[in-house]
Structure 1
Amino acid sequence: MEPDGRERSKACASKDEALAVLARVETDKRAGTYVTPSTVTFREYAEAWRARQAHHAPSTAAQVKSRLQNHAYPAFGDVQLARVTRGMVQDLVAQSGLAPSTVKVLYTYVSAVFDSAVEDRVIAVSPCRRIALPRDEAAAVTPLTVEEVAQIADAVPGPLRAMVWLGAGSGLRPGEL
């Protein structure tokens, strides 16, 4: 029996299996961890989740919609939330063909949908655990030589020369200088 009083049935192969399922459900209900099985798909839940995101600026809301529609929905949009596996999420991340920073943004949105579903007790656990995200390989920084800094300092007006040397030696950004 569901917490709301409705009865739910499940076919089991044996009486022992049925008793084990019943015991597990009763234990989960007492512990407050029982989640009613749901047939809602990832797309259905994600669209409802997007509609509830009042803190998103219009540009962010458009980005969330685009990332979900172009990448997550084709991967598992029509799969029931409870049937999306960690492997499916890992495949999305690994095979998206997007830049690493964009993959991280996409994963953040997908993970937020699943976290919300857990909080709403639509699913028991999120499949977005221990997902290996691609590394964002930053371009190697090659510092200027002393001669190159001297050339730049000589090319700017007198009062700004000290700023060139300070920036080269300290790593401060132009606005900080």
Structure 2
Amino acid sequence: MFNDKYDSAIFAGGCFWCMVHPFDQEPGIISVKAGYTGGLTPNPTYEQVCSESTGHTEAVEIIFDPSIISYKELVEIYWRQTDPTDAFGQFADRGSSYRPVIFYNSEEQREIAEASKEELNNSGRFDRPIVTHIEQAGPFYEAEPYHQNYYQKNSLHYNLYRQGSGRVKFIKENW
């Protein structure tokens, strides 16, 4: 599926279930996978990541066609799914495994992410500083099959979770 004309992006914004759907619906997206990255434990399980012992965070890996959707557009979609002023988790999910991070895989991606973060910080949209980390991407480990496309396979639970976690309310109020 991945070839020379495609690129990848990795974003962490709390529960990975909630990060798949917003990207999955965009033209130019080839695939969105839930998984783990940013830590040291190879091939971690969901239980290990949730235990906060691996250093990993829940994230999504997006394969996209940059001739249809740009990395900058993906970063803009990313911001609108998160609370970029909360470094200690996202909404009801707390801890380092839910921290917000833009993982870049090239110098160009780093520059785009940094410029976008600065623009958001200077926009006045939030009263607190933008604390989302921007870090170099490392290995991405795909999550277990039951986590993939959770919003489609378990739509009732997914929608209740998005509401109950506070994510929907925050997005409506701030974006």
More strand as a share of residues: 2
More helix as a share of residues: 1
Q: Larger C-alpha radius of gyration, 1 or 2? A: 1
Higher RCO structure (Cα 8 Å, ≥6 apart): 2
